[in-house]
Copies of this chain bind each other. A is one copy, B any other.
Amino acid sequence: MNTTIETLLAHRSVRHFTEEKLTDEQIETIVACAQMASTSSFIQAYSIIGVKNPDTKARLAQLAGNQPYVEANGHFFVFCADLHRHETAGEMEQTNVSPSLESTEKFLVAAVDAALAAQNASIAAESMGLGICYIGGLRNNIEEVGEVLGLPDRVVPLFGLAVGEPAQETAVKPRLPLSNVYHQEKYEKNHDLFKKGLDEYNSTISAYYSGRTGGKRTDRWTEQMSGMLKEPKRMHMKPYLEKKGFMKS
């Protein structure tokens, strides 16, 4: 096992950071690594906003549902799907690219591009001994977040990434059984076998929470998921994306 694989396998989200700020050199290395991720047909359809200003961070923390680690960290990145640059490219080449940019296909391309870049950023940070936490909560009030960051049309914030020196040891959380996620040749059709895998995983996760809370928490994974999914959330996403010029067709 090489050190990169050790880093990947040791991932856990960090939500408590020391007061140490990232240096500009660290930030530049993280962004350079993000930029080297694969990108669909070289489209590079994302932007990253780096936030240091304490007032901006406090506002984003509030908009994300009062998550203190959006404010208290070593640096805060916001990863955006960005097709504004391609609108500009079309302008520079006197070509109408709008119908293409407005397709669901291109939104997917931009979201995947942004995620690949963010994961490279995360791994670069973790390889330096820093901790990270993705912040999907920015989508709770996505329109306001876009305003705070001054995002033009065709640019939307997808998620944040809090980075910093870990102030607390956290445990690696066990993932779904491999057989439930990795299918050979075809998707597993045996529904009983599939459920059996989830049953076993429920026991694993119950034991994990119980061990960490002295028996206070024992939630099963399927219980967590159905609890989280019983009420639809962030139903403003579709109209917001359309308003910003995405997924019109």
Residues of A within 8 A of B (CB): 1-5, 7-11, 13, 28-29, 31-33, 35-38, 40-44, 46-53, 56, 85-86, 88-90, 92-93, 95-97, 99-101, 103-106, 108-109, 111-112, 114-116, 118-120, 122-124, 127-128, 132-134, 136, 139, 149-152, 155, 158-159, 172-173, 175-176, 178, 180-187, 189, 191, 194-195, 198, 221-235, 237-238, 241, 247, 249
A122: chain B residues at CB < 8 Å are: 38
Question: Please, could you name 8 A-B residue pairs with CB atoms under 8 Å apart, sorted by A?
Answer: A2-B127, A38-B119, A40-B134, A49-B182, A85-B180, A89-B225, A109-B136, A152-B187
CB < 8 Å neighbour of A187 from B49, B115, B234, B238 = B49
Chain B residue with the shortest CB-CB distance to A118: B116
Give A165 Cβ to nearest chain B Cβ, in Å.
16
In Å, the complex CA distance between A37 and B173 comes to: 11
Do B136 and A182 touch (CB < 8 A)?
A: no
A228: chain B residues at CB < 8 Å are: 41, 43
Do B185 and A237 touch (CB < 8 A)?
A: no
Apart from A4-B127, A31-B181, 15 more pairs, CB < 8 Å: A8-B33, A42-B224, A48-B181, A88-B195, A88-B198, A89-B198, A97-B229, A100-B231, A103-B232, A103-B234, A103-B235, A104-B238, A109-B136, A115-B119, A149-B187
A191: chain B residues at CB < 8 Å are: 88
Chain B residue with the shortest CB-CB distance to A53: B185
In Å, the complex CA distance between A11 and B20 comes to: 30
In Å, the complex CA distance between A57 and B150 comes to: 45
A227: chain B residues at CB < 8 Å are: 93, 95
In Å, the complex CA distance between A21 and B116 comes to: 25
A241: chain B residues at CB < 8 Å are: 104
A178: chain B residues at CB < 8 Å are: 28, 31-32, 35
A185: chain B residues at CB < 8 Å are: 49-53, 56, 149
CB < 8 Å neighbour of A35 from B124, B181, B198, B235 = B181
Given A4-B124, A95-B229, A127-B5, A38 contacting B134 (CB threshold 8 A)? yes
CB < 8 Å neighbour of A149 from B2, B124, B186, B234 = B186
CB < 8 Å neighbour of A2 from B35, B56, B128, B176 = B128
Give A198 Cβ to nearest chain B Cβ, in Å.
7
